Amino acid sequence: MMRVALVLALLCAPVAWAESLTPYIWNDVTGDRDMPWLGRGGRAHYFKRDITKPWDIMNPRGPTIETRWGASGGTGEDPFKSSERAVAYLERVGALKGWPAYPPVEGRPGAVAYPFRVTIVCLEPLVAILRFDLSAAMPDPIEFFEGAMPPSLRGVAAVDQEVSGGNLANAVMFGSRVNARGALQWFSPDAAQAPAPLDLSSGRARITVKGVTLELEKKGEELVVRR
Amino acid sequence: MLSLCAVAPVRAEEPEPREAASARIFEATAIDRLILANARAKIAGDPKVEQRLDDFMYELRKPALWNPSHPAWAPTRAALRELLARESDAWLETYWPQAMKIHQREIAYAYRLQDILVVQEFAESPGGRAYFAQRLADARVKAGEAMFSLDPATPAQLQKLAQETRRRVDALPPPEKQRIATFTKGGSGHADILEMLIQGQSKWIAEVFLGHLSDVRYEIREAWTRELGTRFASMLPVDSKKQLLGSLELRDDASLLFRFTFYWNDAADGGKLALEIPKSAPYYTQTLALAPGLARGHPRVLYRDKDGVVSDKP
């Protein structure tokens, strides 16, 4: 009896580590996140899957969690990869050229001091908004990082609106709202669309890419993106 | 078996003969003070000490706000050096008893018993005492007592002390002078080993001092910031609760240069980057608007508030 209890406890331990995820299946953990639009319609969802094996109990890194965003966990892309693809595309089209870089750390190239905030607003195809901001060239101190967010996303939720990936000084943001202060541009790695200015002189703009149309409207300090 | 157990504690309390000899050598010669003075001399010219002082200065005001060319820099740094000296002296008072034990053991176990007794005999002789007193006085003159001192003295006092110890050596009777010559140049190796140990311990203590300068407690640094902030309030650059970004400069060709520093190579201002914004850039006007009236040759510091608004208002 004792032996059975011990085996059960060992099997359940990884689940206990990993928040309240049901192991081995994709869990929708979107919660209050302001998610990017999906080209095929609707908003993307945020998924996590705990694939920790019982014998990983001694893994000092803790549980093994996979993350995806999209329509489902199975079809979605790793947010880290999306972010990395966005920044890699900027590099490929020369947008990062001419901006200085921080010194390399442990053999990895140093982050580029790119004075633009990057916000992913749509997946499949990947579309992102660039906002010119001198402070983006340096890593945000913790107490100031919310300032990069649109006003409605500041506060506790702000920390869930970022995704690492890409060699910039700050993480890439995501959502359907963007801080509208400063000159704005858009780009799409999936449509090979290099950064192009957004004309918001009328308060509105439209992005059409691969048959998907995004309507943009400036509301005070925010740019609201609709599908 | 029982009788062995009963004997063991008694034996543990007996001082190891070499440790006892080492303690007497230290008592007669104050070699620990010589090690201390040597260590002070080593760090006196070490750029890491000056860099650490600069780091403390940049805790008072961020690198974008000032540097050595600011009029308040030199007087504030001098006052900070005094505060640091006081703190290092107080810290040394508590640290030195531990270090002393280590020095004594190092010397005790570097010799065989018969050899350390030779060193002890020399150390406790009038010639040995006068010889080490002169070495210590000379080392203190060389090192100064700017920081990490157990008995701070002015340069004039140290010079006077050095002269007195030199006179004491000169006044020694010939046999004692001969004793010094025999010990130091006699080729027995005792003096060479002692010298090697003094140098080794001095080097180690210098490293401990540098380590301490990188590890001054936060509340102490906070107190320095408060004190210096009050003393030099009228001279210091205006402080801000905002994020200090860097400085924006208008160049002769009308392009803009945004310079900023970042922590690198153990220095608050160790890394420097500059973003160049040509007049043709679409965001040029937006950047220039951050510092209204920006003139050539007069860079303006930029700040960012918690809402992300960048401006030249502190």
Residues in B closer than 8 angstroms to A181, CB to CB, are 308-309
Name the band, by pLDDT with cuts 50, 70 and 90, for residue B188. confident
Verify whether the Cβ–Cβ distance A141 to B309 is below 8 Å.
no
Distance, CA of B141 to CA of B37 (rounded, Å): 9
- For residue B287, the chain A residues in CB contact (below 8 A) are 134
Closest to A175 in 3D by CA, of A116, A124, A114, A226: A226
Asked if residue A117 lies in contact with residue A136, where contact means CB atoms within 8 angstroms, the answer is: yes
CA distance A226 to chain B (A): 24
Flag whether pLDDT at B64 surpasses 90. no
Contacts of B288 (CB under 8 A, 6+ apart): B250, B256, B294
**CA-CA distance, A149 to A146, in Å (whole number)?**
5
Query: Residue A173 in 3-state DSSP?
Result: strand
> B226-255, pLDDT tens digit by residue?
999 999 999 999 888 999 999 999 999 999
Q: Provide mean pLDDT across the span A15-25.
A: 71
Closest by CA to B221, choosing from B19, B52, B74, is B52
CA atoms within 13 A of residue B88's CA, in its CB half-sphere: 26
Cβ pair B283, A182 in contact under 8 A: yes
- Report, as an integer, the average pLDDT of B299-310: 95
Residue-level pLDDT at A2: 46
**Between residues 127 and 166 of chain A, which touch chain B (CB distance below 8 Å)?**
132-135, 137-138, 141, 143-144, 146-149, 151, 154
pLDDT 10s digits, B107-140: 999 999 999 999 999 999 999 999 999 999 999 9
The CB-based long-range contact list for A55-61 (8 Å cut-off, 24+ gap) reads A56/A14, A57/A10, A57/A13, A57/A14
Report whether pLDDT(A18) > 80.
Answer: no
Which of A9-18, A32-41, B56-65 is least confident? A9-18
Helix (H, G, I), strand (E, B) or coil at A194: strand
A208, burial (CB in 10 Å: exposed 0-12, middle 13-18, buried 19+): exposed
Residue A165 has a pLDDT of: 82
Q: Provide the shortest C-alpha distance from residue B283 to chain A (in Å).
A: 6
Residue of chain B nearest A153, judged by CA positions: B307
DSSP A101: B
Task: Return the DSSP state at A105.
Answer: B
β-strand pairing of A116-123 with A37-38: parallel
Contact between B168 and B186 (Cβ < 8 Å): no
- Given pLDDT bands bounded at 50, 70 and 90, which one contains residue A10? very low
Share of chain A above pLDDT 70, in %: 92
**Does the structure show a pLDDT above 90 at A19?**
no
Cα separation of B159 and B167, whole Å? 12
C-beta atoms surrounding B92 within 10 Å: 19
pLDDT of residue A157: 76
ipTM of the complex: 0.86
Mean pLDDT value across residues B36-49? 93
Scan residues 186-245 of B and list those with Cβ closer than 8 Å to A.
243, 245
Phi then psi dihedrals of residue A67, to 5 deg: -130, 140
Q: How far is A159 from chain B (nearest CA, A)?
A: 15
B311 closest CA partner among A182, A100, A185: A182
Highest mean pLDDT among A16-30, A58-72, B275-289: B275-289
The answer, yes or no, to whether residue A8 has pLDDT greater than 60, is no
- Spatial CA neighbour of B28 closest among B127, B139, B113, B176: B127
Best of B242, B243, B265, B277 to substitute, by most chain A Cβ atoms within 10 angstroms, is B243
CA distance A96 to A94: 5
